[in-house]
Every structure is written in structure tokens, then in C-alpha cells.
Structure 1
Amino acid sequence: MKRIRFALLLSAFLIGAASAGAGEDKLALLAPPVALKPQALVEGDLLLLGDLFDNLDETKAKKPVAYAPKPGVRSTLDANWLYAMAQSQGVAWRPASFYDRIVVERAGQTVGREIIENALLSALAPYGIAADSAVELANRSVSLVIPVEARPTVAVRALAYDERSRRFTATLETPASSPNALMAKVSGRVVTQVGIPVLARTIAQNEPISADDLKLVQISADAVRADTLTEPSQIVGKAPRRMMKVGQMVSKQDIQRPIMVPKNSNVTMIVRTSAMTLTAQGRANEDGSDGDVIRVTNAQSKSVVEATVIGQGMVTVRPQGARLVN
């Protein structure tokens, strides 16, 4: 009787175990297969399994498998590396072809040029540089990319400055005092800056320049030509001899008084006396601005007279020249 009871209990246990195993197999069949992600964007120092594959359980997805690239850098993991790693981590994945791969990119932030220059100016202050000075880096494309969660601070190390040539070399450390700081060697020079008015928009030929068309920018004194106009009052009211682009500095040769009577244009000729006012049509023989004396040909008599420009397409002729107007 005891043997029969033991046999029944053993049968029940085996049936239960078989049913449980069948249930687990069924769940495994229902779970979506592990799939390689098309790309990975990470922020931390470590690359996790979940960064590379979809459909992993939560515990396995958080398992680190490699160091992430440097901030702002991309790297490509090929099929061989991915398959070997999956096997070592117990991940049920195999490449569909030799071309399977994933591009891993580490997010980063670029330290602003202003932060770098201010750090250098602060470090150079003990050398007695002027308050209106600026620094020009020899490598203007220098780029410092740090983790997104880091503070964009810069420390200047190993600074060397030649007061005669005003040139310097230094090592930049960012984030400042961080154990994983990025180090970059830079060189450059200290320059004196001056405020120069430049065009705030593109100005067409002969278009009068207003105060709103100018903006003041700080420029290295070495970049300013001797004929560059440094005061807005020297520019406002004048007009370009040819089209000028936004951001352009203005020289004496670039501008003139606006042309009110273009050469070969039709003009109205006016003669005023105490008794009357006479008008006639003529053609300008040369360009003329307000107040200029130019030569004008009477359209009817073909006589050439000297006339003073008084407005757009308008000139006056002295009374003693009236006979030439008629």
C-alpha cells in the first residue's frame, strides 16, 4: 500500500514538473527575440547591454559590457565583436550576416569659445595685459567636448607668456579639476581690441546708410586698416559706391554722398528770379550729389550749363544762365 502511495506522489511530482517546464518553454516562445538596435546614443562612461539590444530582461539590460566612446565621438561595433560579446553574456543573439553592426555615439557638450578665452584672459591677468585685450588662438577650430552632465569649466595649466611678442602657450583642463578631465594644448597671442562700426545688413549701391544699418563690434586692432572709418557719424548719411555685405567694415573709399542725379539721367532744370520761375528738361552729363555743381545739357537747345543739384532729378541754374535753359 505504501509503495502504491509513493508511486502516486512521484507521478504527481513529475507531471507537475513537466507542466512547469512546458509553461516556461511556452513563455520563452512567446517572448520577442533579442534584436540588435540600429544605433546607440549613450551619455555615461559605460556601454550597457541594453544600449545594444532590444527585448532583454531588466537585469541583463543594465549589465555593462564595455567603455563608451569619448564624449562627442562615434565608434562602430562589428558582427564578430557583437556575437562574441553576446555569447559571453548569455544573450540569445547571432548576426544575420557579416554586415551586422551598430554605431555607438557618446553624447557631449562643446565648451564655448567664450569660456575658453575668458579662462585664458584670467590666467594672463597677472602679466598686466590691458582690460580691452582679447586672445586669438592659433588653432581657431579647437573643440573641447565633455560629458553632458559635466560643468563646462576650464582651468589653465602650464601657462607660458612672452611679453615682448605677446604670444602664449598653455594646457587647458576641462572640466576643471575633474579626475577624468580632457587636456588640450593651445597657443595664441594677446591682441588689443577696438570698437568698429560694421554693416548690420547688406546695403545696395547708392542706398543711404542710417544709424540702424550699423552695429559696433570688437575687432583686433591689427585687422583694422588705416582707412577704416571708426565712428558711425563718418558713415551715416553716406551711400556705398557699390553693394556692401553685412558685417563689412567701411573705408573712406567705400562710400560717398548719395547720388541724387545719376549720369545720363533726365533732370528738371529750374531758374528762379525775383519775378518768375522757369523750368526746362535736360540730361545730366555726370553724377551729382546734393549741393554738387554738375554739367547739364538742355534737351531742347543742346546748350550745356552748370547747375547745382537740389534734389532727386532736380537742379538749379543761375539766373544769368537762363538764356541757356530756354
Structure 2
Amino acid sequence: MRLLFLLLLLALPAAAQELAGPRPLVVTEDTVLRLGDIFEGAGPRAAQPIGAAPAPGRRLVIEAPQLAALARAQGLPWRPVSAQERVVVERPGQAVPRDDIAAALRAELLRLGLDPEAELELGPLPSLMVPPGAPPRLLAESPSLDATSGRFAATLAVIAEGMPVLRQRIAGRALPTLAAVVATRRLSLGEVVGPGDARLLRLRAERVRPGTADQLDQVLGQQLRRPMGAEAPFLRADLGPPPLVEKNALVTMVVEAPGLALTAQGRSLEAGPRGGLVPVMNLASRTVVEGQVIGPGHVRVAMGAAPIRMAGE
């Protein structure tokens, strides 16, 4: 009896092996599928190759009839209990960045006369995947470029360790671009544009309106005449020098003549930038004359300037 009991104990692992079935989900990073990947308890045959693994980033579904045929061919004592049994095989992958694809195309199209400042508009692209941690090498083969329409085409070769060379035909257009200064944030009416409020970009020419600022020094230090949205291009007509004198502010009136300089207190009746002309009321005489803004809170008035009549008087 004791001998029979020991024999039964030794037979239990083998019985468990026979009862083991397919794995519902398999995640593999290998290029080859093996019997042990699909079936638990495959025993000595576990390392037996049975086919190619899916491409990186793809999945393979093995249905019950295929599993039954595989088990039968490999001598595994397994049969599906229902038609719903299946194995899903997934292989991790990482997508090839679209910018990397554009860079590989640009390098070859430049040899064909592509404008270095042109933007490449790629057509619909399938998801090109490579194994995780395997940096791809991209080659644009047989490129072509129509200088008139800007249309281009090439065969992109994706080379990475752990996968066969992948080739994909790619087409698109090369679009001309123009320099434009855009806002980095929302700006309110009357704000003075600071160094962190604007940046220089290249935009598609079709998006750049006439009069768009194309240099930072055209924008920085200028005051907005309308609100601006983030990433919106600045128009030169919407910018102006900030006022050095505010409306109704107290100012120093500088009266100059050859060999003589006098000052008086006044009130600016309008706002004005450096060099701008504003009406100023002399607080002592209550007369209004025209003065030129020469600095913060300072207005130059010509000696003997005739009083001016304000609108509404």
C-alpha cells in the first residue's frame, strides 16, 4: 500500500501537466513563438518553435480550432472545452515618432532642391512600430520632389534590431513658410509686450497675414491696441509705442528758447508716447497749448506757443 501511495504522488505532476491548457494572454518580446509560450505544462517540448511572433506593437489571436490542431501536432493531450477558448499573443512596441520620419525625408529631399524652411505635410501614416528599447534607423529610399507643386514621395525603410526591415511608401507636400512673431500667452488690451510674451516661429505662408510682425524687436516693448490669444501672430498695426504721459496726468512743461529753459506744472489732456504731440493745460494760467512728449511726465512746449482750442469748448 505504501508503495502504491508513493507511485500516485509521483504521478501527480505528470497529471497536472496533462491537465494544463493554453494561456489566455501571452506577452512576448521574442521574434519566435514557442510551444511553451502558448501552452502551460508543455514539458520537454516547451522550447519547440511553432511560428513567428507578431510584429512589434501588434497582436495575434489563436482560436480554439487552431489550438486543437497545434496540440495534436505536438502530441499534447489537450482539447478545447468550448469554441470560445483562444490565446491572445501581444508583442510590445514603440511608435516611430512622426518628427523622426519627417527628418529622414527632409535630409533626402534637400538633395533634390527642397527649400530648407519648407514645412513637410505628411499624408496619413500607419503606425510604424519597433521593439521597445531598439532605436530605429530610418532611410528614405527613391525620393522624388515636384518643385512646382511641392509634392514628394519616398519609400521609408525602418531598420531596428529584433525585426525585419519594414518598408512603407510615404507621400506629402512641401509647404512654404514665413517668419512670424506669436504671443506665448493671452494678452490684454493695453499690455506692453515683454520678452517672455512673444517668440519667433515659422508658420505656413497661407496662415501669415500681410503686416504680420516677423522680428522680435518689432513687438517687444510695444503696447497692444487689441487683445491677443495665445499663439496668435502679432500684426504691426495692432502695436504702438507705450505712452510716457497718461491722460489727465500731471506733467512738467519744459519751455525752451535759445539760452533759456523754464519749467511749469501742467496737466496732459491726452495720453502720448515719446515724440507724440498732446494738449497740455498750464495749471497756473489755465491755457492749453500743444506739447511734445520728451520723457516720462515731461512735455516740451515751444516759447510763445499759441493756445489751442479743445474739442467741445
Name the TM tier (shorter chain): 0.5 to 0.7
Which of 7, 10, 20 is equivalent to 1:24?
10
For structure 1, list consecutive stretches of 5 or more residues without a partner in the other structure.
1-13
TM-score (norm 1): 0.64
Q: Return the offset for 1:108.
A: 1.8
Task: Please point out which of 70, 73, 81 is paired with 2:55.
Answer: 70
Counterpart of 1:162, as a letter, is D
Decide which of 141, 152, 155 is 1:168's aligned counterpart. Answer: 152
CA distance in 2, matches of 1:161, 1:61: 52
Match of 1:250 in 2: 234
- 2:93 aligned residue: 108
1:219 Cα deviation from its structure 2 partner: 4.0
Which residue of structure 2 aligns with residue 46 of structure 1? 32
Correspondent of 2:225 among 241, 248, 269: 241
Greater shift in the superposed pair: 166-175 or 248-257: 248-257
Cα deviation, 1:48-85, whole Å, max 9, x if unaligned, reads 455556x646755544445433322345555x358636
Aligned-pair identity in percent equals 26
Judging changes above 3 Å, is the alpha-carbon distance between structure 1 residues 94 and 305 closer, same or farther for their aligned structure 2 residues? farther
Pairs aligned (count): 298
Deviation at 1:289, TM superposition (A): 4.7
Q: Are the aligned partners of 2:200 and 2:214 in contact in 1 as well (CA < 8 Å)?
A: no
Partner of 2:258: none
User: Where do 1:28-177 residues align within 5 Å?
Assistant: 34=20, 39-49=25-35, 51=37, 56=41, 62-77=47-62, 80=64, 84=68, 87-88=71-72, 90=76, 103-130=88-115, 132-134=116-118, 136-139=120-123, 141=125, 143-148=127-132, 150-175=134-159
Extract unaligned runs of 5+ from structure 2. Answer: 256-260
Distance 1:103 1:206 in 2: 62
In structure 2, distance between residues paired with 1:266 and 1:36:
87
Looking at structure 2, the residues matched to 137 and 290 of structure 1 have their Cα atoms a distance apart, in angstroms, of 46
CA shift, 1:237, in A, is 0.7
Residue 139 of structure 1, CA deviation:
0.8
Contact 1:121 / 1:134 at 8 angstroms: preserved in 2? no
Structure 1 CA distance for aligned equivalents of residues 235 and 122 of structure 2: 28
Q: Deviations over 1:87-128 (max 9, x none)?
A: 545376866x77666654322232233432333234334434
Distance 1:310 1:29, change over 3 A: farther
Kept in 2: contact 1:120–1:135 (CA 8 A) = no
What is the alpha-carbon distance in structure 2 between the residues aligned to residue 210 and residue 125 of structure 1? 37
Q: How big is each residue's C-alpha offset from its partner over 1:228-257, in whole Å with a ceiling of 9 and x where there is no partner?
A: 221111111113334434443322234333
- The Cα RMSD (Å) is 5.0
Q: TM-score under structure 2 normalisation? A: 0.66
Q: Which has the higher helix share?
A: 1
User: Does the CA contact (< 8 Å) of 1:138 and 1:187 recur in 2?
Assistant: yes
1:25-70 deviation digits (Å, cap 9, x = unpaired): 3446889x858767443323334455556x6467555444454333
Contact 2:125 2:170 in 1 (8 A): no
